[in-house]
């Protein structure tokens, strides 16, 4: 299972109750930070996230509302006595920006800090373990920008406790069952795996897409995902601004969601010029009805 917590979902400048882009994604107990706008670490504290569990940070692009909170978070990790390595994925240049600040402040980390700089215009796998894989989603913005696709791995088969209740199973039988294998008991009886287990949860997919102009080449990359977060900086009445700044409208986000046949659409990265966020729903819903609004500190199950 995945759980997504929105730490900030507004664009440009932070306000008292409008935080810039940052998200925390939990995948089977592992925490991944996506973008790190100004004040992210304060939002992490509000949602009681354990800093030590964040080992990978993904930065979409080098506009301030997506990474100005990063050096502060890295510094706080040091002050809190972090020892675990930290991996930061982002556009080429992010290492220079962060290390220059640490150098001039004489605040080098006591833990290993690894930068993975990106420059490819094609989708590529950035990280993969036994739990999840993370790939880039090339976007179209004023600077080099990527979204990120998180795909969870299927879990082991689950033991059907009712079916095995009267069986004398050894520990190795349970391992075999979880691996999808048949078992043979000491008394010679054999059982097919499916009679004693339940199917694992299917893989889940979460696609994060911010910031970008309307981009049809994105559609096959996010085909059928469980949740698509797609920026909706503007409403259609300001479509000229969206085109000029290479952002999207709520209607355009809905068109991508419909064409990609995603299960749910999550809007965000709102311009501060709008006071009524329900306008975004009203604009997107006629095209794609499973649409929701991002809200600071709101959690979504995927």
pLDDT greater at residue 1 or residue 300 = 300
User: Does residue 172 register a pLDDT over 80?
Assistant: yes
pLDDT digits (tens, 9 = 90+) for 65-121: 999 999 999 999 999 999 999 999 999 999 999 999 999 999 999 999 999 999 999
**Amino acid 238: pLDDT:** 98
Q: Report the C-alpha gap between 101 and 25 in whole angstroms.
A: 27
Average pLDDT, rounded, for the chain: 96
pTM: 0.90
pLDDT digits (tens, 9 = 90+) for 174-209: 899 888 899 998 888 999 999 999 988 888 999 999
Say what percent of the chain tops pLDDT 70.
Answer: 100
User: Does residue 155 register a pLDDT over 80?
Assistant: no
**Amino acid 267: pLDDT:** 98
Identify whether 65 is a catalytic site residue.
yes
Q: Which helix (H) or strand (E) holds 43?
A: helix 40-46
From residue 31, alpha-carbon distances to 163, 192, 268 in Å are: 34, 36, 21
Q: Which two tokens stand for residue 177?
A: 């069952």
Residues 35, 65, 226, 296: which is the catalytic one?
A: 65
Q: Which domains does the chain have, with CATH numbers?
A: 1-118 (3.60.15.10), 158-198 (no CATH)
Q: Report the C-alpha gap between 27 and 152 in whole angstroms.
A: 7
At residue 36 the predicted structure's pLDDT band, cuts being 50, 70 and 90, is very high
């Amino acid at each position: 299972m995945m759980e997504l917590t929105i730490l900030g979902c507004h664009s440009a400048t932070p306000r008292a109750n409008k935080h810039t882009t940052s998200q925390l994604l939990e995948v089977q107990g592992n925490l991944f930070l996506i973008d790190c706008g100004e004040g992210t670490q304060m939002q992490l504290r509000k949602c009681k996230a354990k800093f030590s569990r964040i080992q990978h940070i993904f930065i979409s692009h080098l506009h301030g509302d997506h990474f100005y909170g990063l050096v502060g978070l890295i510094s706080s990790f040091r002050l809190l006595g972090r020892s675990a390595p930290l991996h930061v994925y982002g556009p080429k240049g992010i290492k220079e920006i962060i290390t220059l600040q640490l150098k001039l402040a004489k605040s080098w980390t006591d833990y290993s800090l690894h930068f993975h700089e990106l420059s490819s215009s094609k989708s590529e796998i950035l990280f993969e373990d036994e739990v999840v894989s993370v790939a880039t989603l090339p976007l179209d913005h004023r600077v080099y920008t990527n979204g990120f696709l998180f795909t969870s791995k299927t879990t082991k088969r689950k033991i059907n406790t009712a079916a095995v209740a009267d069986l004398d199973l050894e520990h190795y039988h349970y391992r075999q069952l979880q691996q999808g294998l048949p078992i043979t008991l000491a008394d010679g009886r054999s059982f097919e795996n499916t009679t004693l287990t339940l199917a694992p949860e299917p893989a889940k997919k979460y696609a994060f897409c911010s910031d970008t102009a309307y981009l049809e080449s994105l559609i096959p990359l996010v085909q059928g995902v469980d949740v698509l977060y797609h920026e909706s900086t503007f409403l259609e009445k300001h479509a000229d601004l969206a085109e000029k700044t290479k952002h999207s409208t709520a209607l355009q986000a809905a068109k991508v969601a419909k064409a990609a046949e995603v299960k749910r659409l999550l809007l965000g990265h709102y311009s501060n010029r709008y006071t009524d966020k329900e306008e975004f729903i009203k604009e997107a819903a006629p095209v794609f009805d499973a649409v929701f609004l991002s809200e600071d500190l709101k959690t979504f199950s995927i």
